[in-house]
């Protein structure tokens, strides 16, 4: 996953901006935002409450100190430990996986600065170290090994301090259980955020597909309608002196075509656009006759299975539009089969720009998404052939 594809942590996005290490943010990119995210603020509140346990540790430092200066120094170190603990966890959420483990390790090392006052009792604050490791989301294996190792070392320190005593198992048990609980909690949120990120990507992909569908439909609708309008306008221009009544009729049909195209665009935008094979065949006959092209069209649509008639209608529309625009043909044939549609003409045949045609490219996408295959080439009439197998 490259840097640009990493999810970014934004204020007000997800309540807990922690992600699995496989989906963690790009190195250090999310740090400024994650420190003040809603999840970080929530953590500061919850983690701050948990620091009340350190009051007893502060009292122990004050009791064992030999002077006021020593007590002040020890309590200052304890306060620094508490502050670093609070900040370390949201910082870890903004780091790449290899860097996250350094934070609980550093926090563990910081506990030994309290050794002059607490001795082997520094293990009393290791619950915070375990929680920090649990909330780094560095993988269950590393987390479990780290927590178990921390608990075992806490047992060892208890033996060093007081000798073997079953009572010394209480603190390691607390370190292990609380850390494990927080690991489960954090990983659950990480998985939830991963699902949210996947949903966001799916929504983006769906929007892109819908935009592509709309653009393709509008192109096909306007391309066909504007081509027919152009042909009829040229015909009306030629007839305006020779046959004014027919020219008037052609102009009226042009107006109807323009209104129909506008209605089709509106229904396409609304997502309710549909085409019918019979309607496209009728429109093809009118357009070809207006252009002076002999139309060889099937008398019905029964040859095509009902499941394939809509895609066949789009093929007829684009194929006839291509003949009207580019072919210079005098004859056009539309052939329908149970799983095959072909539009052939006797015009100039395939041209170099066929592969870059927006209409044919959109039709190919439509056909392939329906499980079909489209080919273009020279027809048996000597011109262009558009053939689709469904």
Task: Output the pTM of the full model.
Answer: 0.51
Q: Give the model confidence (pLDDT) of 113-123 as tens digits.
A: 999 999 988 99
Q: How far apart are CA 97 and CA 330, in angstroms?
A: 69
Q: Give the model confidence (pLDDT) of 275-288 as tens digits.
A: 778 888 888 888 88
Q: How far apart are CA 201 and CA 192, in angstroms?
A: 14
119-147 average pLDDT score: 91
Residue found under tokens 């294996």 = 141
Q: Could you give the domains of the chain?
A: 3-202 (no CATH), 275-390 (3.30.565.10)
Identify whether the C-beta of residue 34 lies closer than 8 Å to the C-beta of residue 90.
Answer: yes
What integer pLDDT is reported at residue 64 of this predicted model? 92
Q: How far apart are CA 32 and CA 91, in angstroms?
A: 9
- Angle formed at CA 288 by CA 283 and CA 292, multiple of 5 degrees: 150
319-345 average pLDDT score: 89
18-42 average pLDDT score: 60
What integer pLDDT is reported at residue 36 of this predicted model? 75
* Among 7-21, 123-137, 263-277, the least confident range: 7-21
Q: How far apart are CA 167 and CA 169, in angstroms?
A: 5
Q: What is the CA radius of gyration of the chain?
A: 37
pLDDT band at 108 (very low <50, low <70, confident <90, very high): very high
Q: Among residues of the chain, what percentage have pLDDT more than 70? A: 80
**pLDDT > 70? residue 10:** no
Q: How far apart are CA 135 and CA 94, in angstroms?
A: 12
- Enumerate the β-bridge partners of residue 389: 340, 373
362-368 average pLDDT score: 86
List CB contacts of 384: < 8 A, sequence separation 6 or more: 322, 323, 326, 327, 329, 344, 345, 347, 348, 349, 350, 376, 378
What integer pLDDT is reported at residue 353 of this predicted model? 52
Question: Which H or E run contains 196?
Answer: helix 170-242
* Among 28-42, 91-105, 178-192, 299-313, the least confident range: 28-42
More confident residue, 333 or 354: 333
What integer pLDDT is reported at residue 78 of this predicted model? 95
**pLDDT > 60? residue 26:** no
List CB contacts of 174: < 8 A, sequence separation 6 or more: 127
Q: Which two tokens stand for residue 308?
A: 């394939």
- DSSP letters along 7-57, please? PPP-TTS-SS----GGGPPSTTTTHHHHTTSHHHHHHHHHHHHHGGGHHHH
**pLDDT > 60? residue 41:** yes
Q: How many helices (H) and strands (E) does the chain have?
A: 14, 5
**pLDDT > 50? residue 190:** yes
**pLDDT > 80? residue 210:** no
51-58 average pLDDT score: 92
**How many CB atoms lie under 10 A from the CB of residue 260?**
14
């Amino acid at each position: 996953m490259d840097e640009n594809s990493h999810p970014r942590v934004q204020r007000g996005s997800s309540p807990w901006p922690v992600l699995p290490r496989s989906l963690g943010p790009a190195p250090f990119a999310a740090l400024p935002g994650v420190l003040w995210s809603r999840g970080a603020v929530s953590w500061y509140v919850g983690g701050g409450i948990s620091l009340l346990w350190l009051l007893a540790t502060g009292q122990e430092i004050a009791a064992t100190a030999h002077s006021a200066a020593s007590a002040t120094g020890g309590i200052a170190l304890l306060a620094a430990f508490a502050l670093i603990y609070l900040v370390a966890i949201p910082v870890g959420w903004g780091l790449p996986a290899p860097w996250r483990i350094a934070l609980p390790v550093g926090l563990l090392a910081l506990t030994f600065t309290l050794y002059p006052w607490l001795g082997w009792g520094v293990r009393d604050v290791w619950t915070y170290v375990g929680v920090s490791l649990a909330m780094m989301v560095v993988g269950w294996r590393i987390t479990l090994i780290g927590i178990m190792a921390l608990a075992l070392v806490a047992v060892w320190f208890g033996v060093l301090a007081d000798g073997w005593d079953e009572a010394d198992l209480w603190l390691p048990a607390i370190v292990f259980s609380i850390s494990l609980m927080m690991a489960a909690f954090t990983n659950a949120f990480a998985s939830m955020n991963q699902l949210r990120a996947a949903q966001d990507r799916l929504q983006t992909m769906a929007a892109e597909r819908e935009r592509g569908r709309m653009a393709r439909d509008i192109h096909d609708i306007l391309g066909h309608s504007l081509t027919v309008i152009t042909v009829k306008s040229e015909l009306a221009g030629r007839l305006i002196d020779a046959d004014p009544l027919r020219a008037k009729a052609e102009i009226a049909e042009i107006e109807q075509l323009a209104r129909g195209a506008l209605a089709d665009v509106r229904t396409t935008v609304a997502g309710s656009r549909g085409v019918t094979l019979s309607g496209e065949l009728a429109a093809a006959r009118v357009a070809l006759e207006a252009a002076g092209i002999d139309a060889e069209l099937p008398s019905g649509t029964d040859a095509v299975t009902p499941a394939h008639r809509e895609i066949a209608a789009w093929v007829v529309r684009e194929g006839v539009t291509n003949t009207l625009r580019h072919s210079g043909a005098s004859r056009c044939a539309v052939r329908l089969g149970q799983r095959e549609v072909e539009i052939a003409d006797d015009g100039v045949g395939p041209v170099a720009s066929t592969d870059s045609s927006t209409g044919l490219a959109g039709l190919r996408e439509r056909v392939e998404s329906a499980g079909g295959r489209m080919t273009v080439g020279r027809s048996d009439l000597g011109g262009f052939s558009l053939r689709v197998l469904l």
